[in-house]
């Protein structure tokens, strides 16, 4: 069984995340969306709310589950026996950043990272941009799944 973890803070989940996860469905038997928490980071949405957004977005998919975790992604992967880490790439800057993390993870754990490119129509979307729009009472709805409502 091929099990992958798609880690992130999902603060909030965006259409870019949705695109990557939908692309990965035929590649893996099981996908665990890992909603990470970092005590040093300030989130717009609580862990519970972020989990709810993701769970509701993927409720109809039998091979997708959502789990909260803290600490290193590779430790979470080991704990749940995941073989792969799934990451989305929007641009070349993402690639350079993600490549260094992927190589480190592989060196420390043997877990491979699979990169998928976001669709052009969602490649400009980031959670930080969405948070900024929400903070300023802008129209964020075209950038996130329908289950994300503030």
Given 17, 24, 50, 87, which residue is catalytic?
A: 17
Question: Do 68 and 79 touch, CB atoms closer than 8 A?
Answer: no
Verify whether residue 50 is a known catalytic residue.
no
Given 39, 41, 92, 146, which residue is catalytic?
A: 41
Verify whether residue 65 is a known catalytic residue.
no
Strands (E), the chain: 3-8, 30-37, 64-70, 84-89, 112-117
Question: Which is nearest to 73 in space by CA: 127, 32, 34?
Answer: 34
Give the count of beta carbons closer than 10 Å to the beta carbon of residue 133: 16
Verify whether residue 17 is a known catalytic residue.
yes
Given 67, 78, 90, 106, which residue is catalytic?
A: 90
Angle at 49 between CA 47 and CA 52, to 5 degrees: 110
Question: Which is nearest to 110 in space by CA: 140, 74, 60?
Answer: 74
Cross-strand pairs, 70:
37
Please tell me the total number of residues recorded for the chain in this structure.
Answer: 150
Verify whether residue 127 is a known catalytic residue.
yes
Given 2, 3, 127, 149, which residue is catalytic?
A: 127
Which positions are catalytic? 17, 41, 90, 127
């Amino acid at each position: 069984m091929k099990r992958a973890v798609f880690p992130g803070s999902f603060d909030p989940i965006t259409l870019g995340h949705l695109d990557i996860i939908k692309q990965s469905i035929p590649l893996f038997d099981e996908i665990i969306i890992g909603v990470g928490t970092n005590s040093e980071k300030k989130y717009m949405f609580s862990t519970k709310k972020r989990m709810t957004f993701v769970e509701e977005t993927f409720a109809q998919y039998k091979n997708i589950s959502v789990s909260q975790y803290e600490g290193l992604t590779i430790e979470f992967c080991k704990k749940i026996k995941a073989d792969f880490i799934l990451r989305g790439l929007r641009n070349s800057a993402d690639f350079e950043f993600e490549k260094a993390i992927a190589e480190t993870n592989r060196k420390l754990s043997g877990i491979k990272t699979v990169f998928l490119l976001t669709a052009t129509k969602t490649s400009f979307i980031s959670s930080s941009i969405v948070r900024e729009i929400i903070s300023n009472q802008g129209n964020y709805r075209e950038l996130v799944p329908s289950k994300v409502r503030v």
